[in-house]
């Protein structure tokens, strides 16, 4: 009388064992993809230690009291990357004037970096006089979401992180492998962030140094009446007013 119930239990156990085996086999053949972290605007820049062309660094201690523009490139000895790195190098004085340190990165060895720096210097006279992280183990690339598998699993995309002196991420740009960055926009955005912080204002479309800035919008009726009575600003409407700084 116990035969059929026991048979049912055995069938169930065999089914469970079969399902577990299939699941395990699937995980072996198709391992779950490692998720890359993606720091967000407003986050503190993830800390790391790395070897660079200027020696070892620790992000939390790097460039104290300065802004940092950290940027990744897909690979050394490649044409688009050479134009970009040369662009950063040729305009380094402008970044210096904005109290900003440059920090490059690619998934290459320190020896490849040094060879590329010297090759470009010999071929063009341009010297990459800023640290370039040798991220051969992809540790930093993964930490900052620079590896995006649908673009490439082995080369970092063209990411740019704007990091303020408190190590807070203030702006992020991402470009694909086949499109170079716009150096004018990188410098414009950096200066805009600094102007906004200093003067507590916002910046309009296409703002550049010397243009008017946007005053904070009124937050109360008293603020509104003060704004309407203020003839020192250009009022497009009560909530959109511009001024020179």
**Active site residue ranges:** 81
- Tell me the C-alpha distance between 123 and 121, whole Å: 6
Q: Could you report how far apart the first and last alpha carbons of the chain are, in Å?
A: 94
Residue 117 CB: number of other CB atoms within 10 A?
19
- For residues 104 and 112, what is the distance between their CA atoms, to the nearest angstrom? 14
Residue whose entry in the numeric block shows the structure tokens 């085996």: 21
C-alpha dist (Å) from residue 159 to 11, 55, 69, 141, 208? 55, 22, 10, 10, 22
Alpha-carbon torsion (108, 110, 111, 116), positive or negative:
positive
Phi, psi at 173, each rounded to 5°: -125, 140
């Amino acid at each position: 009388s116990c035969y059929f119930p026991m048979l049912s239990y055995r069938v169930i156990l065999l089914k469970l064992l079969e399902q577990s085996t299939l699941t395990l086999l699937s995980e072996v053949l198709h391992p779950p993809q490692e998720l890359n972290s993606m720091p967000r605007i407003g986050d503190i820049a993830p800390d790391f230690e790395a070897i660079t062309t200027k020696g070892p660094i620790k992000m939390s201690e790097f460039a104290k009291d300065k802004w940092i523009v950290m940027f990744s490139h897909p690979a050394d000895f490649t044409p688009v990357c050479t134009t970009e790195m040369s662009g950063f190098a040729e305009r380094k004085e402008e970044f210096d004037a904005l109290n900003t340190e440059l920090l490059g990165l690619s998934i290459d060895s320190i020896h490849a970096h040094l060879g590329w720096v010297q090759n470009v210097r010999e071929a063009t006279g341009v010297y990459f006089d800023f640290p370039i992280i040798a991220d051969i183990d992809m540790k930093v690339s993964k930490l900052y979401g620079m590896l995006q598998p649908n673009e490439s699993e082995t080369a970092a995309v063209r990411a740019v992180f704007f990091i303020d002196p408190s190590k807070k991420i203030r702006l992020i740009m991402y470009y694909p492998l086949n499109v170079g960055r716009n150096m004018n926009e990188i410098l414009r955005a950096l200066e805009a962030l600094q102007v906004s912080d200093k003067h507590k204002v916002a910046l309009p479309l296409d703002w550049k140094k010397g243009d008017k800035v946007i005053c904070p919008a009124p937050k109360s009726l008293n603020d509104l009446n003060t704004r309407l009575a203020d003839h020192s600003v250009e009022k497009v409407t009560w909530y959109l007013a511009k001024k020179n700084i």
